[in-house]
Structure 1
Amino acid sequence: MVDLRADSDLRPKPERGRSHPHPVKPVAHRMHSRRVGLLRVALPATALVLLVLLGLWPQLRGNDERFQLGFAKLTPNAVENLSMINARYQGVDKRNNPFAVTADRGVEEDPQNGVVVLDNPKADFVTQGGAGVYIEAKLGTYYQQEQWLDLEGDVNLYHDQGYELHTQRARINLKDSTAEGHDPVTGNGPQGRLNGKGFRILDEGRQIIVTGQAGMSLKGAGRKK
């Protein structure tokens, strides 16, 4: 028979002289210990990198300054065909009347002589008589020293006295406020439509002459004069 009153004495008792096992650490505690270990390694490494960068910083700045100094030593003679977007040139003629030459793009063809090739050039000047002249073309060559402007390709000339001329080539003398062309020309004037083998603007802009076998269709008339 089993004595139920002594059931507590049936459980195994720990042996004398043997200690209890260590309790298991929680997971959160282990992760915290791992972070602390990583920080102990990462922080000194980061400090070392910063010290190295501080030591190299003067050399890096020196390289940048040397690059800028080399770029500043470039002279205009070392660069061929300098170009300018929205080129603009201004001046005055021999009687101190202003003129202006503009273009979508200007490329310096001859730096020593000031020769510039222009895309879509436009020029306007005031004649000695006070009339305004506006000229445009597809291409042009501007001679800055001589103040000449050679135009070609759909040359259109407008004179505020009511004249309008169209040709393919023309030379404008901005210094004298004159112009001329030797290609066929068509246009309109106060008296009617005109055409010829060329044209000239003379007497500092006071006279407009159609040269060659010129003709004019008079307004209100059915014949050419």
Structure 2
Amino acid sequence: MSTREGPRAAPPVPLRTAGPVAPRRMLAPSRERWAPSAGQIARRRLAVRLAKWLFPILGVGLLVGIAVWPELDRMEDRARVSFRRVIQAQPDAVRLVEPRYQGLDEQNRPFTVTADVAAQTDSADIVDLTQPRADILLTDGSWVLLESREGRFDKGTNRLDLSGDVTLWQDGGNLLVTATAEVLLQDGAASGDSPVAAQGPFGTLVSEGFRLTERGQVVVFTGRARAVLEGGQ
């Protein structure tokens, strides 16, 4: 009995190479790898978390600053304009050195008001005076001089308010000293309710006030008065 055998598989053909294969050489790393420690990793995570919160806040602040900056500029301009207006409105902005004011009374007799310094007040007609002096010329050629440390002159009404060592010199040698006095230059009159001390050829006198009329020709001492007369006067 014969059996049939199938075709036999061809035996494997060995691969041929040009020569022996050299083993592959690995390149040495250019630098050593650095492994962070646990503390460094924790600090890095904390910095990342802070950056996640900080950067958005800074961005919002920058946007708010950009939006508000023009309004701040306008507010600064308005404040600058207001400040300049206040400076220009100050009464001391107008000061005169050695001013002189002249006028005539109702009988065309001249009077003169002078001072060391005059400062304009809120009113255009009123000035504050330092070391004011008022000269009143009488009809017969005699004169009356009033002076003090401070004063206020109303140019509209020709009224002069004196304060501080008010002194009245009258032609003929009469002297009157008081603390305050009101002088009406238009009428040639003066008055005061502060204590008065007077002296002259008649003697000495003290009183609680005085009234000067007829451009200094008549002086009336008010309140309780005491006089010491000279000679047989």
Q: For residues 207 and 161 of structure 1, what CA distance do their matches in structure 2 show?
A: 13
Q: How does 1:193-204 map to 2 (within 5 A)?
A: 193-204=204-215
Given that 1:129 and 1:204 are in contact with CA atoms closer than 8 Å, whether structure 2 keeps it comes out as no
2:97 to 76, 80, 85: 85
CA deviations 1:85-127 (Å, max 9, x no partner) are 1111111111111111111100011343x00000011111113
RMSD between aligned residues: 1.9
1:110 alignment counterpart: 122
Partner of 2:200: 189
Q: Could you say which structure has the higher strand fraction?
A: 1
User: How far, CA to CA, are the matches of 1:128 and 1:212 in structure 2?
Assistant: 30
Residue 113 of structure 2 is matched in structure 1 by 101
User: 2:170·2:216 contact (CA, 8 Å) conserved in 1?
Assistant: no
Q: Give the partner amino acid of 1:126.
A: L
TM-score scaled to structure 2, two decimals? 0.58
- Give, in whole Å, the separation in 1 of the partners of 2:107 and 2:100: 21
1:145 equivalent in structure 2 = 156
Query: Bigger radius of gyration, 1 or 2?
Result: 2
Q: TM-score, normalised by structure 1?
A: 0.60
Distance 2:223 2:207 in 1: 6
Amino acid at match of 1:103: A
Identity between Structure 1 and Structure 2 (%): 37
Q: Which whole-Å CA distance do the structure 1 matches of 2:109 and 2:213 have between them? A: 16
Q: What does residue 175 of structure 2 align with?
A: 164
Aligned partners of 1:153 and 1:204: how far apart in 2?
22
The one-letter amino acid of 2:202's match is Q
For the residues of structure 2 that align with 1:132 and 1:147, how far apart are their CA atoms? 18
Indicate if the aligned counterparts of 2:111 and 2:137 stay in contact, CA closer than 8 A.
yes
How far apart in 1 are the matches of 2:142 and 2:182?
Answer: 19
Q: Deviations over 1:7-38 (max 9, x none)?
A: xxxxxxxxxxxxxxxxxxxxxxxxxxxxxxxx
